[in-house]
Every structure is written in C-alpha cells, then in structure tokens.
Amino acid sequence: MKAGLDKQKIIEIAANMADEKGITNVTLKVLANELGIKSPSLYKHFSGGLDELNKELMLYGWCSLESEITRVAIGKAKDDAIFAICHAYRNFVSNHKGLFEAMQWYNMYQSKEHLKATQGSISVLFQVLEAYGLTEKQKVHSVRMLRAFLQGFADIESHGGYGNPTSLDDTFDFAIKTILNGICDLQGGEEV
C-alpha cells in the first residue's frame, strides 16, 4: 500500500515537473498524481503544504546550482574560473527553468532562508575573487554585479524576452568580459 516515497525523492520529481511544465503548474494534486498518491498524503511529507514544497524546491535549486558551479570551477582560477561559473549558471537555468523560478520565488519578501540558500553559490564567487587582490568592498561590488547580471540575463533569456536575433552567446561573453575588465580596473585603482 505504501508508495515508498521519501522527501528528497519527491522534491526531485517536483523539480523535474517544474522544469517541464513551469512552477505554477506544480500543484499538489498533479504532483500527487504523478507520485501515485492523493494530494492530502503529501502533507505527511510536507506538513507546511505547498508553501513548504516551494521552499524545499528553492533550497534544492540553490544547492544544485552551487554543486554545478563548484564543479566547473575546480582547477581554474581568475577569469577562467569566472567564465566557467557564468556559463555553468546560464546552462543551469536553461536546463532548469522551473527550478530557477522556484529559486527566486520562495517568500520573496523577507526570507532569511532564501538569503542563506544563496550563500553557497555566492561564496564560490567570493573565493574566486580572492585572487584579484581586491578590498572587501570591491569584492562585494563585483560579486553583486555579476550576480545581478547573471540573474537578469538568465531570467530574460529563459522567458524569451530577448527579441533580437543577434547571438545571445556573444552578448553573454561580451558582458562577462566587460565585468572582468571592471574588476581588473579595480586592482590598484582608487577605493570605491
């Protein structure tokens, strides 16, 4: 009678569903159906209901992204590492549109958990930036800028928001180069 599900498994299946149908179409009913159970049964795994499921998807997404980012950065330094991380981020989003939505969604207003979840990925960027000899503040500015660009670009791209036929790959690389130049200029420059 028991389906032998565990929380992690459910989260992964929900994440796949989100990638296929979009996060708003991951309803408890549809998810339960996919799992071969009835929706109220999901409350045995997620007592907080849909809200908790979304939170878990958010956490799962950020963990996955962090793994991916960490993986591609291994053995690379400076610009090479930044490039690798940026491309990994972009690929991640293109392969996980639904999960990416969840990563930005959960209790957007005032969520400490969201802040914590993003830390892992952010800190990978920070580590790479160590090699550039920047001040703490300069590192913060650089990471923030990178992060803003990556999120904005991925968001717009994944929703088909860039209407122009010009190569998005080229735009992406141009942008990263530009940001890296900005970071370079900080070295030895005046305090910002």
Partner DNA sequence: TATTTTTAGCTAATCTAGTTAGCCATTATA
Partner DNA sequence: TATAATGGCTAACTAGATTAGCTAAAAATA
Instruction: Tell me the torsion sign for CA atoms 110, 113, 116, 121.
Output: negative
Name which of 41 and 155 has its Cβ closer to a copy of itself.
Answer: 155
Which residues in the 152-191 window bind DNA by CB under 7 A? Answer: none
Rounded distance, CA 71 to CA 138, Å?
25
Choosing from 8, 20, 29, 63, the residue that interacts with DNA (CB under 7 A) is 29
CB 54 within 8 A of CB 106: yes
Answer for the pair 69, 127: CB distance below 8 angstroms, yes or no.
Answer: no
Report the interhelical angle of 97-105 vs 49-73 (nearest 10°): 110
Greatest extent of the chain over all pairs of C-alpha atoms, in Å: 68
Number of shown-chain residues binding DNA (CB under 7 A): 23
181 sits near a copy of itself (criterion: CB under 8 A): yes
DSSP letter at 107 equals T
d(CA 84, CA 109): 31
* CB nearer a copy of itself, residue 67 or residue 171: 171
Which CB, 54 or 138, lies closer to DNA?
A: 54
141 binds a copy of itself (CB under 8 A): yes
Q: Which residues are near DNA by CB under 7 A?
A: 1-6, 27-30, 32, 36-41, 43-45, 49-51
Rule CB under 8 A: which residues touch a copy of itself?
22, 104, 108-111, 114-115, 118-119, 136-137, 140-141, 144-145, 147-153, 155-156, 159-164, 166, 168, 170-171, 174-175, 177-179, 181-182, 185, 192
